[in-house]
A and B are shown apart, each in its own frame.
Chain A
């Protein structure tokens, strides 16, 4: 690693101030950023650890019935405490391995927007709201392609607010070595329609499969899932071709619909 200073503020206000420094980077749970730093792919002058900020940790339900998860909440905590939204709790309990889940945070995952990460699928399929220290961003506006988001420099995710669907499930086909999602599909059935979000497949990062949403909104059954989307624009690498991933999108969607509860 290159050398850098580390700061550990205890409030969002102090963290935002610390991030005002040139070349400062926020550090969530570090389960992606620390390996990146080790490979010298990132060279911050200051790392601002968010792990000491109590006000952005925890899970609760607000007056509108939405599940509010602090940006600094670990995957393990979401898995344990998000029982009001079982599909989301199950997703969190299957990210990485137990030790990774004890450090990695929802804010870190959503800010990084790895094209194979699990959380972006849940955020987009739920129509969640990403709340930062300055504003609220709708999921449909938030994700802007692989590793790209609507966040500005120095902006911190303080909360992610999930409307709770009637039924939901997340199904991922794991890349067998890394266990990242080769393709992961989150299906969320609300009273006014179904949303389907796909991670791991597209070169544009997480996306909504609108054809499946339309079909499932009128008939919520695995048989109603349309034929696989085109493989154009899907990630093609040694783990699978674009056409293979496209095929998996339909298969995982069917499995998610069948499992939704």
Chain B
């Protein structure tokens, strides 16, 4: 067992992990932060995307021990300090950017990572950035619209390529 200490959503947390404990297991099972989802567990779907030191990563494809000393942010850390939804989360609600909701935590975290680097992306850039996030309900259109709205830009009436 290895002792790990990291900052998760602003709080310092510690735990004992096995060598093969994935970051997503540490978040979900040890910290009980079950907002981060495991869809495929094979690095394809992106439901497990969290931020590690500000960068989007697939937490099912990183060991907890590798996050020792890191700043981790999960979807639980996305809301504003007063508990209201963040701009991105609110846009997902307003534009109905989810149906079953399983992919949403990863979509929100990827959207936040995109807008941090590229505050005014084009629709094509949004779609390209979401390459590693799979949604089986929405057909992506409303997710793209939500992200365009969250970036403060005009929202295409019918988003499609």
A residues contacting B by CB (< 8 A) are 1-6, 8, 27, 30-31, 34-35, 37-38, 46-47, 49, 51-52, 76, 96-100, 102-103, 179
Contact = CB atoms under 8 A, between A and B. Distances in A.
B132 A99 contact: yes
Given A8-B65, A34-B62, A99-B56, 18 more contacts: A1-B20, A2-B20, A3-B18, A5-B2, A8-B68, A34-B22, A35-B42, A35-B43, A37-B20, A38-B41, A38-B42, A49-B66, A52-B66, A99-B46, A99-B49, A99-B57, A102-B57, A103-B61
A49 B61 contact: no
B74 interface: no
B138 to A, nearest CB: 18
A116 B156 CA distance: 37
B107 to A, nearest CB: 12
B104 interface: no
B33 interface: no
Contacts of B58: 99-100, 103
Contacts of A27: 63
A31 B63 CA distance: 11
A147 to B, nearest CB: 19
Contacts of A46: 19
Contacts of A49: 63, 65-66
Contacts of B43: 31, 34-35, 100
B161 interface: no
Interface string B1-35: 01000000000000000111010000000000000
A97 B132 CA distance: 5
Given A8-B68, A34-B61, A100 B19 contact: no
Interface residues of B, number: 28
Nearest to B68: A8
A163 B57 CA distance: 31
B131 interface: yes
A5 B110 contact: no
B55 interface: yes
A98 B106 CA distance: 12
Given A98-B132, A99-B49, A4 B20 contact: yes
A47 B110 CA distance: 29
B4 to A, nearest CB: 10
Most B CB within 10 A of own CB, among A34, A47, A99: A99
Contacts of B19: 3-6, 46-47
Contact of B129 (A4, A98, A100, A102): A98
Contacts of B65: 6, 8, 49
Contacts of B42: 35, 38
Contacts of B110: 98-99
A102 B52 CA distance: 9
A34 B129 contact: no
Nearest to B2: A6
Contacts of A34: 22, 43, 61-63
Contacts of A35: 42-43, 61
A102 B66 contact: no
B113 interface: yes
A212 to B, nearest CB: 30
Most A CB within 10 A of own CB, among B66, B68, B113: B66
A100 to B, nearest CB: 6
Contacts of B68: 8
Contacts of A37: 20
Interface string B114-139: 10000000000000010111000000
